[in-house]
Amino acid sequence: MASIRVILRAKKNKDGKQPIALQFIKDRKNNIVHIGHAIHETDWDEAKGRVRKSHPNSQRLNNLIKKKLVEAEDNLIELEAKKKDTTAKAIKNTMKPKKEATFFPQAEEYLDNLTKGGKYNRLSAEEPRIRRFKEFLQDEDIPFSEITVSLLNRYRGYLKSTRTIGERTVVNHLVVIRSIYNQAIKGNLVDARHYPFGSNKIQIKFPDSIKIGLVPEEIKILEELELPDVRMHHARNIWLFAFYFAGMRVSDVFRLRWSDIQNGRLYYSMGKNNKGGSLKIPEKALAILLCYEVEKDETDLVFPELKSFESLDDLYHVQMRIKTKVAAINKALQDVKKKAGLTKSLTMHIPRHSFGNISGDKIPVQMLQKLYRHSSITTTIGYQANFIYKDADDALEAVVG
């Protein structure tokens, strides 16, 4: 009968650590398989064949040891059931580690793809999230098969205990790991059966966020506000222009060209999903356009934020510039908010919320989908639900009133 046990090899590596290994013994012959980790002898409990709690990654390593032992025993049972060779060498061969992809080289490739795709905003958000996962693992790389439900739950706790962040931010950190894991699966670098996400595992669910927009009276205050300061005046123009076109994304506002305006209509494709269309230009939006008509130049861009680029094809640097300019606009909007006496948030996220808040349930959802340029009507229904209060208000009033 073959036996399997966990040992700490006597030979030390250059760091003074000793490898953890499985020892297979059959007919007084033995073979060794390293599990891929080494520790100091003081962190090893020889009697129990496990890593002591003094090691910072003791729980993770002990889980790996347990997993390897179970795998070895399963392989032995399978060999015996099929009446195959069960020598120590044969058992070892079933345990020879296949070349398995590890997380951080794949993470580097993932970030590189974002750079090549011009996804500056995602890159700047996701690069620090990957760094935090590396901090959690104490700067060690990790095979994908070791990214388990248990480890991710500990990572969730680590994020909440070391940083003052909300659940949505925690979920964003997990989404990056899931994206890189999916990349590795598509590249046939990891077995999908180890996938730790999905039903009965780690489920990605974003918490509902509260979306508050301005009401018509507050929009009117913004429209009529006297702003001699050029910076504040421009920020207010950008905000209102986005609002007049159903909450157009600010990146699309910056990219607008005079050639997009034909016969009193604005033709443009939304950068996020390339959905195109046209809208009649409201009189109030025309008034804003007149303010910039005198600045027409060879770039053909309506607004000045991206005029220094010879071409907008360099997506990475264009997104970088957009992020910088949006920050400047938002800073100026805080001064506008103060001067207008508003108490609600006033950033470039708010034009869309304000349009949704004012439209409420007055506009058919199919038309809102067209105005918002959503690819799916489900997205429109979910978004607009943030601004439909009448039924809930009437139900509450029916009882309380």
DSSP, residue by residue, 52-89: -TTSTTHHHHHHHHHHHHHHHHHHHHHHHHTT---SHH
Question: Parallel, antiparallel, or unpaired for β 261-262 and 18-26?
Answer: unpaired
What is d(CA 341, CA 335) in angstroms, rounded to the nearest whole number?
10
Give the separation between CA 194 and CA 190, rounded to whole angstroms: 8
Region 223-237: what's the mean pLDDT? 95
Query: DSSP letter at 276?
Result: E
Query: What tens digit of pLDDT does each residue of 117-168 get?
Result: 889 989 999 999 999 999 999 999 999 989 999 999 999 999 999 988 889 9
- For residue 310, count other CB atoms closer than 10 A to its CB: 7
Number of C-beta neighbours around residue 74 at 10 A: 11
pLDDT category at 14 given cuts 50, 70, 90 is confident
Coil, helix or strand for 130?
helix
Q: For 374, what's the count of Cα atoms within 13 Å in the CB-facing half-sphere?
A: 18
Percentages helix, strand, coil for the chain (3-state, rounded to 5) are: 55, 10, 35
Spatial distance between the Cα atoms of 284 and 353, rounded to a whole number of angstroms? 19
Quote the pLDDT of residue 94.
59
Average pLDDT over every residue of 344-369 = 87
Confidence of residue 193 (pLDDT cuts 50, 70, 90): confident
* Choice among 122-131, 316-325, 373-382 with the minimum mean pLDDT: 373-382
Residue 261 contacts residue 279 (beta carbons within 8 Å): no
Q: Are 190 and 177 in contact (CB under 8 A)?
A: no
1 — pLDDT class (breaks 50, 70, 90): low
User: Are 365 and 384 spatial neighbours (Cβ–Cβ below 8 Å)?
Assistant: yes
What letter represents residue 189's amino acid?
L
Q: Enumerate residues 6+ apart whose C-beta is below 8 A from 318.
A: 118, 120, 306, 309, 312
Residue partners of 20: CB distance under 8 A and separation at least 6: 6, 7, 8, 9, 34, 35, 37, 38, 39, 44, 51, 61, 65
The Cα–Cα gap between 282 and 268 comes to 15
Model pTM score: 0.65
- What confidence tens digit (pLDDT) does each residue in 35-86 have? 889 999 999 999 899 999 999 989 989 998 998 888 888 877 777 776 665 5
